[in-house]
Amino acid sequence: MDSVWFTQTQTARLFTAEEPLRLAQGGELGPVDIAYETYGELNAEASNAVFVCHALTGDAHAAGYHAGDKRPGWWDNLIGPGKPVDTNRFFVVCANLLGGCQGSTGPASANPATGRAYGLDFPLLMVADLVACHRALLRHLGIDTLLAAIGGSLGGMQVLEWALRHPGEVRNAVVVAASSELTAQNIAFSAVARKAIMADENFHHGQYAAAGENPDNGLSIARMMAHITYLSEDALTVKFGRELREKDRSPGFGTDFQVESYLAHQGEVFLERFDALSYIYLTRVMDYFDPFSEPGATDAVRERPVNWLVASFDTDWRFGTPHSRRIVRTLERAGQPVTFREIPSPWGHDSFLLPVPRYHDTIRAFLDHALEAALGEGVDARGAVVTPVGVAAGPKALREDLQILADLVPDGSRVLDLGCHDGDLLSHLIARRNCTGTGVEIDPSAVLSVIRRGIPLVELDIDFQLDEFDDDSYDVVVLSRTIQVIRRPQEVLEQIARIGSRIIVSVPNFAWWGHRLRLLRGRMPMSKELPYKWYNTPNLRFVSLADIELFFAGLGLKIERRIPMGIDGEALRHPFGANLFAGAATYVLGKR
């Protein structure tokens, strides 16, 4: 074990019979006890708190070790000293859910009205009820505002609910492998799992504890089926393939294949730590979650925006990327600063629990900036006065060609920067021109750089995925020296014209006289504008200014302004003969 540190679970009574929890669907519940753990230290300003919301079968023990237990917390690879959720800098709180079975009040708890387990008399819960308990726990701990809330799967649903309804309490929200609306297929999986449990002969209408029995068969089957949906087909193939447990065994209906043995083991060990009624109730919580369907669902965050990070995994078929993109689109429409990444991973839905490097790097970069922004108030994570690097200095000076482009953007604009690279332009516009905006980039290293700077970014393919953005959703769309590397320039320009009110495009000029001279010598062009050799260039399109202007006209785009630039990026004083003398040009385009 790299760094062994110990923690213990605590319990707080957050609601009583006299002051009960008022449930989202009506009715009351009290008393309510919630089990929780904390890691790290809360600073003097109470500004470094991170709340971890767990998934369906998690608990309060997210990180570290319990004394005498060799198993670390369920998210120990993410939370701890020096890890992405760094307990040397953050004060981390994780609570067992209301309705759970690891110390919090749930259907297996004693009903004060009868003295026996609630069973099916326990009230139906909504995600809002889970969040109500989280909020009460924060008040118990003396915390008003979270630096961040983070959760995967059902945990991500809680973060989404919390930040949407109470944005003043959550500065930064991390929603991983989650959904805002389960599909019929997802609801069907959970329905079969609940049926397996409730049809078990030992279920006894939910009063199995009083009967001294457990619906073990039904619960293990439910877990086995669910576990299949948490893994990708490739992951199961790589791990087990069609390998038999015993090569010489005759075919039959026993546990013949290794994958069958694995699933049986998962079902058995699950019985040791989870309660059947909690499984029934919490899966139903997920079925009914649909926050964006409520009137005014995004009104609160429109008034008080939250910084969002939404992440999905490319092999997750339970809550796949379309689920995350629906969240991103809705937040985009509400003008939220939202960052989105689809993370490559072979492990399916379970990837959010695993140390996938690109995933961990993304979480670290996002939280690092969140903390840096908090440090701008003058204290570090432990309350010491500091002068954070880069906070006072603001964005770095722009290249001359980017400064020309920036000057064309009206103050206060909402800007979409396609191919934003490391975010220099957006950083300048946000800091100095009162703009808001989103970058689009696909290069992984550039993506991380932008996230570290706190600039909202959507990682997608410009050629094929611009339909993620609504009509006229941005004041300005920028395509800066990117058109030459995209595969479908006509479709991209048509999408840009749909998305933005004003279009700014800058292009290198392959017809510059220096390039022509090099071609006359029998060599391929190279310059500051074209720094690549012919065999390693990313450029797919070789365009002159004369060509691009004909292209714009063919698309029905009107050139409102043209600024030819020299090979060093400076604006040319005399624009005549630009097709020969300009190394590049910036265009402001309008719709005819």
Quote the CA–CA distance of 370 and 365 in Å, as a whole number.
9
Cβ contacts of 441 within 8 Å, gap of 6 or more: 419, 420, 421, 447, 450, 457, 459
User: Residues 428, 430, 431, CA angle at the centre, nearest 5°?
Assistant: 65
Euclidean distance between CA atoms 242 and 225, whole angstroms: 18
What residues form DSSP beta bridges with 587? 505, 562
Quickly tell me which residue has 């290794």 as its tokens: 258
Peptide bond into 31 cis (omega under 30): yes
Identify any residues that bridge with 571 across adjacent strands, giving them in sequence order: 565
Place of tokens 């504890």: 209
Distances (CA, A) of 210 to 98, 105, 213: 22, 18, 8
Rounded Cα distance, 258 and 240, in Å: 6
H or E element, residue 427: helix 424-432
> What whole-number distance in Å separates Cα of residue 2 and Cα of residue 5?
10
Rg (CA), the chain: 28
Phi, psi (degrees; rounded to nearest 5) at 264: -60, -40
- Name the residue with tokens 């989650």: 178
Q: Which of 575, 576, 577 is nearest to 564 (CA)?
A: 575
- Annotation marks residue 153 as catalytic: yes
**Of the residues 54, 61, 349, 515, which is catalytic?**
349
Q: DSSP letters of 323-343?
A: HHHHHHHHHHHTT--EEEEEE
Residue 470 token pair: 């609504």
Residue among 2, 10, 87 at smallest CA distance from 50: 87
Please provide residue 183's backbone torsions phi and psi, each rounded to the nearest 5 degrees: -75, 165
Residue count of the chain, please give it. Answer: 592
The answer to whether residue 2 is catalytic is no
End-to-end CA distance of the chain: 65
Residue 293, classified by CB atoms within 10 Å of its CB into exposed (0-12), middle (13-18) or buried (19+), is exposed
Structure tokens of 141? 């701990």
Options 47, 153, 179, 506, the catalytic residue: 153
Q: Which of 86, 316, 417, 475 is catalytic?
A: 316
Q: Rounded CA gap, 566 and 396, in Å?
A: 22
Classify 577 in phi/psi space as left (phi over 0), alpha (psi -120 to 50) or beta: left
417 is catalytic: no
Catalytic residue set: 153, 316, 349
